[in-house]
Copies of this chain bind each other. A is one copy, B any other.
Amino acid sequence: MSVADPKARQNARILCATCEIGAASAAGSGHFCPFVDRSRQAGELIYLEGEPANHVWFVKQGIIVLLRKGGENNAEGRVRAVRFPGSFIGLEAVVTDRYIDSARATTDAVLCGTTREGVDTWLGKKGAPARTALELTLRAESVDLPRRAPPDGNAVERVAAWLCEEGPRGETLTLPRRIVADLLGMRPETLSRAMAILAERGAIEVSRTNLRIVSENKLAELASGGSLPSS
C-alpha cells in the first residue's frame, strides 16, 4: 500500500534554516526570531487547559495531542486534535488569558517556544489585516465546542454541559433543534428526550420553540452525572 513510512514524519525535524517562523521573523518587525528550542519527552505535558496561557509553541519535531474537557466534568479530557511539526500550539494565548486545551507530547518532541509578549511583538501591529484575521480565527476556534460522543457522557450530560457553556451567551438557544443535535453528536429525537429529562429535573424550561435555564446549579450537577439516575 501507499502509506509512507510512518516514522518519516515523526522523525522529521524542522530546522531554523528552513523554518517558516524563522523566515517570517526576518520579514517581520523584530527582524529576529523570538522562539527558542526546547525538548520534551514522550508523554510530557506541555500545558494544561485552563491555566494562564503564558507561552506559545511551534512544533519542530514530534507529535502533540490537544485534549479538551470542556465542562468541569470528565477527569482528563479527550483528544481533540493532533498537531505535527509545522504547527503552532497554544496560539490562543493571543486572544485569551487561558489555554483552551491541554497539550501533551506523544513522542519525544522539539518545540520552539516564546512568551505571550514575545508573540505579541512578533506578530506586528495590532489591527493590521493579517493579525485581525488571525485573532478572529483563533477566537472562533476557541468557542467551538468539540464534537461530543457517548464517551463524553450520555445524552443528558452532554446537553447539560452544552447549556452550561452556551447558555450564558444565549445565542445558540434559538437554533433549530436539529442543528443543536448535530453539534452534540446525537439525533434530534435523543436531544428532545434529554431536554425533557432536564426539564423534569427542574434545570430548564422548554417549549417547542423556547428554552430557558432555570437553575445553572442543577444543570452543572446533571452535566457531571449528578442527581439520582433513576429511570
Contacts and interface: CB of A to CB of B under 8 A. Distances in A.
Interface of A: 1-10, 20-21, 23-25, 27-30, 63, 65, 78-84, 86-88, 91, 106, 119, 122-125, 127-134, 136-141, 144, 146-152, 167-176, 179, 181-183, 185-187, 212-214, 216
A185 B79 contact: no
B79 A140 contact: no
B173 A6 contact: yes
A87 B132 CA distance: 11
Contacts of A213: 1-3
B175 A106 contact: yes
B185 A185 contact: yes
A214 B231 CA distance: 46
Given A129-B24, A140-B87, A150 B150 contact: yes
Nearest to A141: B141
Contact of A3 (B3, B80, B83, B170): B170
Given A127-B27, A185-B147, A171 B84 contact: yes
Contacts of A106: 175-176, 179
A3 B173 contact: yes
26 contacts: A1-B213, A1-B216, A2-B168, A3-B170, A3-B173, A6-B173, A7-B174, A10-B171, A10-B174, A23-B132, A24-B128, A24-B131, A27-B125, A81-B183, A83-B140, A87-B140, A123-B129, A123-B130, A124-B129, A124-B130, A133-B134, A137-B137, A137-B138, A147-B147, A147-B148, A151-B187
A127 B185 contact: no
B20 A132 contact: yes
Nearest to A144: B81
Contact of A175 (B3, B82, B182): B82
Nearest to A68: B147
A212 B151 contact: no
A76 to B, nearest CB: 10
Contacts of A174: 6-7, 10
A182 B78 contact: yes
